[in-house]
Amino acid sequence: MDRKLIFLDIDGTLIAPLSSPTPQVRQAVRQTRSNGHLVFLCTGRNLPIIGPEILEIGFDGVIASAGAYAAVGGEVLLDRLLPEELVQECLSVFHGLGMFCRLETPEGVYIDPQMEELLQTASPDPRNSELIRMQRELQSAITLRRYEEYPRQGAYKLCFTSASLEAVRKAETALGGRFVFVVHPFASSASCFNGEIIPKWISKGKAAALVCRYFGADLKDAVAFGDSMNDAAVLELAGVAVAMGNACEELKAMADVVCEDAAHDGVARQLRRMGLCGGEGAG
């Protein structure tokens, strides 16, 4: 079999939000690599919050911060921060509309205290792995710093929450010319709307293409797994696009395959089904 390059989102894909990787997933990733394929994390998380329990599985590289950072082995292929002037412009728009933010930087995560309060009372749609993850981070060992501590030296990514969908739409009008606005799934009765803004010059797909070029591979040799619309750019480019069973409907519609959900080892089952780590009944 030709060598494949496999790109795995983390939350809602490799694992249920802020859960630990299951033995089945660990074994499947390791066996896939043993069979000569290359496996990469391709996550919206920034490096400080990926966590050792995930990295210790073993990967051939990492795409982080929704494509603003990419490294293969010890070599950094891409490391691009938003300039601080642009960060402050975005924060001014969000804060002016009563929206609350989270900044992800090389050092860690900085969060508006009002965002914490809104997260604590939110009832997320089950498909919204990002909101569920952010809620669980509040009770986890992950260090979230207050915005007042933010060093103002640029950021990889801005996430937002809002009690008003109208405010989100106004922010998109104000900033959408330079950013892709990703609004995560929400129920009709939602009291908290969340999403992230990704500069149009950055995406998981562009970072994955860079990794493929590094290995002299074509994107048709790539297999991408994801569950939310921040994975759309890499699924669009990959030779095989796999949406998780728990993915939003928009992502399922563009995928070649829909596998089991993250809570039922969808990644491991699909890797076996494709013959990348053994037969359907293996391991």
- The whole-number average pLDDT for the span 87-116 is 94
pLDDT tens digits, 187-221 = 776 888 899 998 999 999 999 999 999 999 999 99
Type of residue found at 61: G
- The whole-number average pLDDT for the span 141-156 is 88
Regarding predicted confidence, which is higher, 6 or 281?
6
pLDDT tens digits, 246-256 = 998 999 999 99
Q: Are 201 and 221 in contact (CB under 8 A)?
A: no
Q: How confident is the model at residue 124 (pLDDT cuts 50, 70, 90)?
A: confident
- The whole-number average pLDDT for the span 157-171 is 93
pLDDT tens digits, 45-80 = 999 889 899 999 999 999 999 999 999 988 999 999
- Of 263, 20, 248, whose CA–CA distance to 124 is shortest? 248
Location of structure tokens 């395959």: 257
pLDDT attached to residue 141: 59
pLDDT attached to residue 256: 98
Checking if the pLDDT of 240 tops 90, the result is yes
- The whole-number average pLDDT for the span 119-135 is 83
- The whole-number average pLDDT for the span 171-187 is 88
Measure Cα distances from 57 to 40, 51, 99 in Å: 11, 11, 37
Q: Are 192 and 121 in contact (CB under 8 A)?
A: yes
Q: At what angle do helices 113-121 and 129-137 cross, to 10 degrees?
A: 110
- Of 183, 260, 176, whose CA–CA distance to 225 is shortest? 260
pLDDT attached to residue 19: 83
Percent of the chain with pLDDT over 70: 96
pLDDT attached to residue 18: 67
Measure Cα distances from 227 to 101, 130, 149 in Å: 22, 10, 32
Q: How far apart are CA 212 and CA 223, in angstroms?
A: 11
Measure Cα distances from 71 to 5, 66, 192 in Å: 14, 13, 34
Checking if the pLDDT of 279 tops 70, the result is no
pLDDT attached to residue 283: 38
Percent of the chain with pLDDT over 90: 71
